Structure 1
Amino acid sequence: MPETTTEVLVIGGGPAGMAAARAALAHGATVTLLESGDDLGGQFWRHLPEPRRGGQEHLLHHHWREFRTVRRQLLDDPGCDVVLNAHVWSVDRRDDAPPLVHVMIGVPDGTGRVPRTFAPQRIVFATGGQERTLPFPGWDLPGVFTAGAAQALAKSERVAVGRRVLVAGAGPFLLPVVSSLLRTGATVAGVTEASGWSRLARGWGSRPWELLGTRSKAGELGGYVSDLVRHRVPYLPGRTVVEAHGGERVEAVTVARLNADWSVVPGSGRTVAVDAVCVSHGFVARTELATAAGCRLGRTGFVDVDAWQRTSVPGVLSAGELTGIGGADLALAEGEIAGTVAAGGTPGPRVLHTRDLMRGFAARLEAAHGIRQGWQTWPTPETTVCRCEDVTAGELRDVARMTGSRGLRSLKLTTRAGLGSCQGRTCGRNVEDLLAATMDGPLLQAGRTAHRPIAIPVRLGELAATVSPDREDQS
């Protein structure tokens, strides 16, 4: 009898998803790759649309040649169906198979999106992560951007978010954002890194021989440092933006020194004139689909996987930022492993070694730049934490104290924090941290802000639309 072909559904078209799709195809599977954007690449390879592709794209992207090669392979392979503008809004668990995956295909804010439902034999979740921004007075002023948004505008539109910009937060991601801003003509007033020199040295400097396998990262770092030196951009560890000032938009920021726990050193603030500020304090995984599918999360909020990237749900695998924040090299290795296993293959020792090596890099990243709880001293009682529902830090703390409740669900319902249109994507982790800090015991249902059965906004008319042929096949 002829062998049956495994049907693999890959959700997410960034480095992890593209690597998973290529590996699954190489091992004989048929692949459907769902990407919510206009093109493959994700945030890491975000670029100008093909009709306006620039001649110097490689200057803004690492591994650009690899992206072009893999993209062409996927688009040209008859066994691969690349579906763009594909927005997964829900998954339905099944007892004997991976979940059903419900998708709306079309422009996110447009009308006439086409509903489809997929029933694959294997699923690879590669939905990536998003930035976490810690709140401070004035962070809701026009002109305050996430660093990723600034980089996306620079890469995909060649637009600078301001003329004189400060980049603030934590982590090496701040450095490529600076380079992107400089290449779009902005003046960068400085880079503030919340972790101080001593912590950076401990995180990156311990057992330096273990970094020999990540020499390519040193090359990337050298390029970013060269940009800082050439453009005389100050790099300021142990400091952060603690307030943004302005009327209709940002006009200046206050930069202050931080203690080791990220609490503000009293009297250390100084004012810097800017017309934009880009902020990023690391990343959180986009786990809503994996959570809805029943995948077990670990203590730190990432999807638990075994040595072959398999989740706790049979037939479901995960790769990339969902399993831990470690950059594109780790995502590519995990994606290759997940795609290989999803198609019934066995990962080779080379890619397993690369994955383990880059996980060590990810551990150093957390040790050097991970968020410290002293940040909770930054928001004043009047500082908005949940922007959708206009809930302040003071209201969160007061409600927690007055009710005495430790249940996240009841606290959310009382304050409405995290119940707005973004469903807690922007504020969820911050809300949980602020509430937990007011309690003697642990916060009950921690991580609940990542649970969103309806993953994206869907119109009632779309829900009532005619059942697609794919869904009819399931009945």
Structure 2
Amino acid sequence: FAELIYYAGLIRKHRITPRFGRVVSRFDKGQVSISGVNSEFSLKKPSRTIEVDVVAVGWGFSPDLTLGGIAGCKERVDIDGTTVFAVDAQQLSSQKNIWIAGEATGIGGADLSLLEGEIAGLAASGQGISSQLRMARYRKQVFADALKRSYPVKDGWRSWAEKSTVVCRCEEVSLGEIEESVVELGAEDSRTAKLFTRAGMGLCQGRICSRNVSEIVAGLTKCAVTDEERIASSNRPIAAPIALGLLGDGKK
């Protein structure tokens, strides 16, 4: 809660007025449209247009599962629809001698990640894990899960986009092209839609748009995104290289 108090004080200091129940529904050429949303995330009218210099938006995080996926670690779908790795009470994955901690086992904040990392380190080195440490992790996990349940992103977000809205920026694939792949070409799932449109096949390999494409196609075909589909779309055969020097000096 200390971090919450800090940011609340910062907002008050700079006389920023928070607006709840609103989203940035559109931004273009130095302007943003601010719209209210209902409980299903459908936009309310009218919207308000504001001149801006910078737009910052955030809808949560997507963990990078590349290394664990290459190693064959078992994955599962978290309560918020995010694909993460399945681990046991010692943070051990389905693969022998591979312990996983942090965002890859579920987004829960820095404090939870640190506790998971400590438990994984102790387990990997054959040391005991105290009940106090386990309880601390449990409490942080309960809070993280409650937060995910309290602020779900509902399906109504799909109605915000126009046909010209770019869904996959790497391959410049618009919503209209994805709709055409379903309506005109007969795509019945996101994998087929991606083959028709190349959405998710660019430089980031779907790290940014894959989940959006899956949910858009599911909405068009009136089918729910299956856990198998979510897991399949998160797997990538090539890992992004990181120089050891960057890890050694702490720079990102």
Q: TM-score surpassing 0.5?
A: yes
Alignment of 1:211-250 (within 5 A): 218-246=1-29
SS in 1 for 2:103: helix
TM-score (norm 1): 0.48
Answer whether contact 2:189 2:218 (CA < 8 A) is retained.
no
Paired with 1:299 and 1:220, the residues of 2 have a C-alpha distance of 29
SS in 1 for 2:201: coil
Alignment of 1:65-464 (within 5 A): 218-246=1-29, 251-267=30-46, 269-300=47-78, 301-443=83-225, 445-447=228-230, 448-456=232-240
Q: CA deviation at 1:346?
A: 2.0
The structure that has the greater radius of gyration is: 1
Aligned residues: 236
Bigger proportion of residues as helix: 2
One-letter amino acid matched to 2:204: C
Q: CA deviation at 1:401?
A: 2.6
Answer whether contact 1:406 1:442 (CA < 8 A) is retained.
no
Measured against aligned partners, the alpha-carbon deviations of 1:34-79 in whole angstroms (never above 9, x if no partner) come to xxxxxxxxxxxxxxxxxxxxxxxxxxxxxxxxxxxxxxxxxxxxxx
Answer whether contact 1:406 1:443 (CA < 8 A) is retained.
no
Measured against aligned partners, the alpha-carbon deviations of 1:391-439 in whole angstroms (never above 9, x if no partner) come to 0112112212333333433221111000011111111111111111112
SS in 1 for 2:85: coil
Q: CA deviation at 1:242?
A: 0.7
Q: CA deviation at 1:236?
A: 0.9
SS in 2 for 1:241: strand
Paired with 2:8 and 2:117, the residues of 1 have a C-alpha distance of 29
Measured against aligned partners, the alpha-carbon deviations of 1:138-158 in whole angstroms (never above 9, x if no partner) come to xxxxxxxxxxxxxxxxxxxxx
Paired with 1:408 and 1:294, the residues of 2 have a C-alpha distance of 23
**Which stretch has the larger CA shift, 218-227 or 364-373?**
364-373
Unmatched tracts of structure 1, length 5 or more: 1-217, 459-475
One-letter amino acid matched to 2:22: R
Measured against aligned partners, the alpha-carbon deviations of 1:284-329 in whole angstroms (never above 9, x if no partner) come to 1111221221111112311111111111112111111111111111
SS in 2 for 1:279: coil
Answer whether contact 2:73 2:94 (CA < 8 A) is retained.
yes
Bigger proportion of residues as strand: 1
Structure of higher RCO (CA pairs closer than 8 Å, 6+ residues apart): 1
Q: CA deviation at 1:442?
A: 4.1
Paired with 1:362 and 1:376, the residues of 2 have a C-alpha distance of 26
SS in 1 for 2:50: strand
Q: CA deviation at 1:364?
A: 2.1
Paired with 1:365 and 1:331, the residues of 2 have a C-alpha distance of 16
Match of 1:134?
Answer: none
Answer whether contact 2:189 2:214 (CA < 8 A) is retained.
no
Q: CA deviation at 1:446?
A: 1.2
One-letter amino acid matched to 1:340: L
**Which stretch has the larger CA shift, 368-377 or 354-363?**
368-377
RMSD, aligned CA: 1.7
Q: CA deviation at 1:443?
A: 4.5
Q: CA deviation at 1:370?
A: 2.7
TM-score (norm 2): 0.88
